Amino acid sequence: MFSNIVFERFYINVKHNELKKYAEQLNSHFEDNDISLTYNEYDLINTFDEMERNNIDIIWFAYDQTANHAVIGYATKITGRDMLSDPSDTQQVEEYIETLINTGELNSLTNIYDYKTSDVSVDIPSINLITYVYESNDELSGNVFRSYIILSSPKEFIETTANTAKRFVLYVSLVTLLIAVIAVVIISEKITKPIVNINKVANKISNLDFTESCKVSGKDEISDLGKSINEMSIKLQDSIDYLEQRAQLLTMDLKKQETSNKTEKEFIASVSHDFKTPLSLIMAYSELLMDKYKEDEEAKSQLLIITDQAIKMNLMVNQLLTLSQLESGTARIENTIFCLNEAVESVMNDLSIMIEQGNIHLTFNYQDDYIVEGDYNLITHVITNLLENAIKYTDDKKIINININEIDGKIRTSIYNTHQGISDQSIPNLFNSFYKEDKSRGGNSKSYGLGLSIVKAIMEMHNCSYGAYNSNAGVVFWFELNKHID
């Protein structure tokens, strides 16, 4: 496509420039030499000969504008290289000159040594140039003779040359294309084969298969990439081996921990169960002794201490048994549908004596009757533990607020009590067994750190959220339940 578009135009342009160069050479010759001298004529013929060897036809003629007559002095197709006589076969040249005269091509050259290109052609399309080289006056007639030289190069020759160049370019292009295809195949094989191998190894590495490595040869970028992948594979293999060893150790530790936790829970459950009988006997005999020594104030006081401590021990044992049952999975959820508002009010009624004795200002706020899903008995246990916790640890302001509202489709119960606040480090541990924080639970002999653990176990059995946070000069404990949808 490039050659078809460019070559012919290129050769035409080159030929135009060549004709202009010869025109300037001829003008310079006529300007510097007396053409009437014989040796100057031969110099001019030699110049014509050089042009003709470059496939340029020449016509040299003198034109009498007054008589409208032209005399041919030299024409390549007529005289060959002889300027002496007029051959008989001048018709085609005369017709061409006549055409130039009639079209005004000659009159357009007004100054000596001017030249111009012309598209005028009689039979054969060609590239033409006319140059005005000489002017003389006839003393007898007074007429002015103007001498012109026409340089012409047939377009057929240019087209032939261009076509030859096109064929040459086509052959060179085909050969180049063939060589390029062969080179591409060879180079592609050299480049793509290592890449395919690297991709294969990389896919195996992604599946944690490190049995194969990249084949590395050479010192190019692809080889460097293969080396890097091999090193990565070795390091990954070492890391995975190390992680597997650590995982085995961790599994063994977890099994030991699980066994230890199971043993601990079984021990706590067994001991708690075994404590119930002696504690019941202690409480029973304490009551009998109080009846026997009711007149002895000192003995009665001592027996009250024993009874009070026995009651506390019994409460702790009951909590331990409950927690053990919940954590061991022996307790089962009895899923029911109930009104959460009524459950809260029931717990408030059960703890009304504690509320009155503590001079607690308690408010209960809700916007609707909230119907939820869960184990009614276990949820009332949660509410009881949280409300008892709020009663025990409220500060001198004695304010407790219970709120129920809906958040993102869940029903949240929040129990707020005024308090100096819990440290951020302690909040995540509040629901762990036997955990106490001095600022929140310190010194209260009625707390064993089990109430919130029971809350945690029950809510995890329900797969529901719970938590605590500081808010407005107080502490909020909360839990969520699933809303019942009809």
Tell me, what's the pLDDT at 418? 94
CA distances for 42 relative to 39, 51, 83, 149, 343, angstroms? 5, 14, 10, 16, 135
Mean pLDDT of the chain: 79
Residue pointed to by tokens 């080889």: 223
The mean-pLDDT minimum among 18-22, 83-87, 122-126 falls in 83-87
Domain 2-158 identical in fold to domain 336-483:
no
Q: Which residue has the tokens 């009809």?
A: 486
Q: Which of residues 247 and 325 earns the better pLDDT score?
A: 247
Pair 52, 76: CB distance under 8 Å: yes
What is the DSSP track for 343-359?
HHHHHHHHTHHHHHHTT
Query: Which three-class secondary structure state does DSSP give residue 40?
Result: helix
Q: What is the pLDDT of residue 401?
A: 95
Burial label, 23 (beta-carbon count in 10 A; 0-12, 13-18, 19+): buried
Average pLDDT over residues 158-187: 81
Contacts 24+ apart (CB under 8 A), 309-312: 310/279, 310/282, 310/283, 310/286, 311/283, 312/445, 312/446
CATH (one of 1.20.58, 3.30.450, 1.10.405, 1.10.3470) for 2-158? 3.30.450
- Taking the domains of the chain in order of start, what are their residue ranges? 2-158, 336-483
Q: What is the mean pLDDT of residues 356-370?
A: 92
Residues in contact with 92: Cβ distance below 8 Å, sequence separation at least 6, in sequence order: 77, 122, 123
What confidence tens digit (pLDDT) does each residue in 448-463 have? 567 788 888 888 888 9
What sign does the CA torsion over 125, 128, 134, 135 have? Answer: positive
Note the helical H segments in 54-125. Answer: 76-79, 91-102
Which residues pair with residue 415 across a beta bridge? 402, 477
Assess whether pLDDT exceeds 60 at residue 249.
yes
Least confident of 129-138, 268-277, 335-344, 382-391: 268-277
Predicted local distance difference test score (pLDDT) of residue 411: 93
Instruction: Give the C-alpha distances (Å, rounded to integers) separating 437 from 29, 417, 426, 462, 467.
Output: 121, 16, 7, 27, 16
Structure tokens at 205: 């590495």
Cα–Cα distance measured from residue 342 to residue 194, given in angstroms and rounded to the nearest whole number: 75
Contact between 438 and 426 (Cβ < 8 Å): no
Amino acid making up residue 254: L
Question: In the Cβ-directed half-sphere of 472, how many Cα atoms lie within 13 Å?
Answer: 8
Can you give the length of the chain in residues? Answer: 486
58 vs 77: CA distance, rounded Å: 8
Give CA–CA dist 284/456, Å, rounded.
34
Residue 83: the pLDDT is: 46
CATH 3.30.43.10 fits 336-483, yes or no: no
Confidence class for position 86, pLDDT limits 50, 70, 90: very low
Tell me which of 12-26, 39-53, 363-377, 390-404 is least confident.
Answer: 39-53
Residue, of 345 and 162, whose pLDDT is higher: 345
pLDDT score for 237: 81
Instruction: Say what the pLDDT of residue 484 is.
Output: 87
Contacts of 369 (CB under 8 A, 6+ apart): 339, 341
pLDDT of residue 311: 66
Tell me if 469 sits within 8 A of 414, measured CB to CB.
no
